[in-house]
Copies of this chain bind each other. A is one copy, B any other.
Amino acid sequence: MLLPAPIQDLIDAFSRLPGIGPKTASRLAFYLLHAPDDVAILLAEALKGLKTGIGYCQHCYNITAAGRELCEVCADPTRHQDVVCVVEAPLDVIAIERTDAFDGVYHVLHGALSPIEGIGPEDIKLRELFQRLKDEKIREIILATNPSMEGDATAMYIQRQVINMPIRVTRLARGLPVGGDLEYADQNTLLRALLGRQELE
């Protein structure tokens, strides 16, 4: 049996989102069929407003409301502008902000180096980062790229570029996740946890 076009279109559109397979897509579409009208309408409006309503901070390339030059963090006079945390994506900024333990500023690369996917230094905001390091008085950069092949490669690339500058370069610690179980930790994580072991105080 063929589904009526409007619902098949919606299933197809949902299926194009990451992590949503055909089963979830059709569950969502049929849910919306019976849901209060405003659930679908609000989602449609939000989707249309997304691209026009979002801009990028001209300083750190984090997302911000369209039309604003600086993001909330860069515009905040209480943040230390000389400590820069380099992340891959805006979601990483949110994750770090949630810790409430960082009072510096960010630089969002919008990606990581990946020869396999053909992503080179020119494709992410690396030039902009190095320009900042030249123009501003930066004391420390924290390399907070993902603990993945690509994230590590990106961190290494940045480190090599700044090695001769009077800037402290740090990387987020590796080790066992809090609440995790040693027994289930993978070999690499456990190796890092062992190598990075710290004195009890």
Contact = CB atoms under 8 A, between A and B. Distances in A.
A199 to B, nearest CB: 34
A136 B43 CA distance: 43
Interface in A1-53: 1-7, 9-10, 12-14, 16-20, 24, 26-34, 37, 39-53
Contact of A50 (B6, B50, B93): B6
Given A4-B65, A7-B63, A73-B1, A33 B17 contact: no
B53 A4 contact: yes
A89 B29 CA distance: 13
A49 B18 CA distance: 22
A94 interface: yes
Contacts of A94: 1, 3, 26
Interface string A137-163: 000000000000000000000000000
Nearest to A89: B30
Number of copies: 2
A107 to B, nearest CB: 15
A32 B47 contact: yes
A110 B52 CA distance: 39
Contacts of A19: 24, 27-28
A53 B91 contact: no
A3 B19 CA distance: 23
Nearest to A32: B50
Shortest beta-carbon contacts, A-B, top 4: A6-B53, A13-B43, A44-B47, A10-B46
